[in-house]
């Protein structure tokens, strides 16, 4: 069964918040987060009346398999855009630090 994309996204946000609270900035790693993400299990239930439809018992999302992957894709996309911005910032930050050190 597919995981509910909405609940998974919410769960990820919770994991990130907790991780950032508990882990010092220099010890954080993306792989650690991905490992935690892998443990998320919020499987949807199949609708017995319409076999290609899934329902989430937690948030009530009702969608076909295609819609589920579509929602997941869109949510990931949003996530990635935020990450990229963050990386740009980090790059700028470490560059300016380096420049300061050189001057
Ligand atoms: Zn859900």
User: Does residue 64 register a pLDDT over 90?
Assistant: yes
Of the two residues 79 and 2, the one the predictor is more confident about is 2
Instruction: Count each helix (H run) and each strand (E run) in the chain, helices first.
Output: 3, 3
* Burial class (CB within 10 angstroms; exposed 0-12, middle 13-18, buried 19+) of 61: middle
CA of 42 to the centre of ligand 1 (A): 7
Mean pLDDT, range 9-29, rounded to an integer: 94
Asked if 41 and 8 touch (Cβ cutoff 8 Å), the reply is no
Identify the helix (H) or strand (E) that includes residue 21: helix 5-22
Please state, in angstroms and rounded to a whole number, the distance separating the CA atoms of residues 64 and 57: 15
CA of 43 to the centre of ligand 1 (A): 8
CA of 76 to the centre of ligand 1 (A): 16
Residue 49 CA, chain-centre distance (Å), reads 31
Q: At what angle do helices 65-102 and 5-22 cross, to 10 degrees?
A: 30
Question: What token pair was written down for 95?
Answer: 């560059």
CA of 41 to the centre of ligand 1 (A): 11
Of the two residues 98 and 58, the one the predictor is more confident about is 58
CA of 95 to the centre of ligand 1 (A): 41
Would you list the domain boundaries of the chain?
A: 5-96
Give the pLDDT band of residue 97 (cuts 50, 70, 90): low
């Amino acid at each position: 069964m597919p995981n509910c994309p909405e609940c998974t996204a919410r769960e990820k946000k919770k994991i990130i918040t907790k991780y950032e609270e508990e882990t010092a900035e220099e010890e954080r790693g993306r792989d650690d987060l991905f490992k935690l993400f892998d443990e998320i299990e919020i499987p949807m239930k199949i609708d017995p009346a319409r076999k290609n439809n899934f329902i989430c018992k937690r948030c009530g999302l009702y969608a076909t398999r295609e819609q589920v992957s579509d929602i997941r894709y869109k949510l990931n996309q949003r996530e990635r855009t935020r990450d990229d911005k963050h990386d740009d910032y980090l790059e700028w930050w470490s560059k300016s630090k380096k420049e300061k050190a050189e001057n």
